Amino acid sequence: MAGNQTRRQWIKAAAAGAVGVGLAGCNGNGNGEGNGNGEGGDTDTGTATGDTSASGTVKIGVLQPLSGNVQYYGQQSLWGFLSGLAYKHDQDPLDTSTTGTESIEAGDVTYELVIEDSEFD
């Protein structure tokens, strides 16, 4: 029977299955604590407890295609990441598009970025 099905029929069946799996979480009362209308009885007041300060070194690996046919897209992604990190800490972004290790000091936290080229062509 499987030999008689076309590629289009397989794709339709796979799409229908994916939609079914995606909608499986939408049937109310998933954990028994709500009434099915999206109100699960959450009582969070939005306040944090405890110490929220951070310190130390955070090591982040960045793997992008920085050479080859798609180097432009890898550089754009790297620059976007660096700009977002700089924006979060009200700093100027690093000006780099090469491999190596870069550090960003932000308060008591040091972000150590290990930038590598995936050499994707």
Which tens digit of pLDDT belongs to each residue from 100-114?
A: 998 888 888 899 999
Evaluate whether residue 18 is within a structural domain.
Answer: no
70 part of a folded domain: yes
- Cα 20 off chain centre by: 24
How far is the C-alpha of 90 from the C-alpha of 104, rounded, in Å? 12
Q: Each residue of 5-46: pLDDT tens digit?
A: 788 877 877 777 776 666 665 655 555 555 555 555 555 555
Query: Is 110 within a domain?
Result: yes
Percent above pLDDT 70 for the chain: 69
Name the token pair of 2.
């499987």
Counted domains in the chain: 1
Does residue 9 form part of some domain? no
Domain that holds residue 103: 56-117
Average pLDDT over residues 60-87: 91
Q: What is the pTM of this model?
A: 0.52
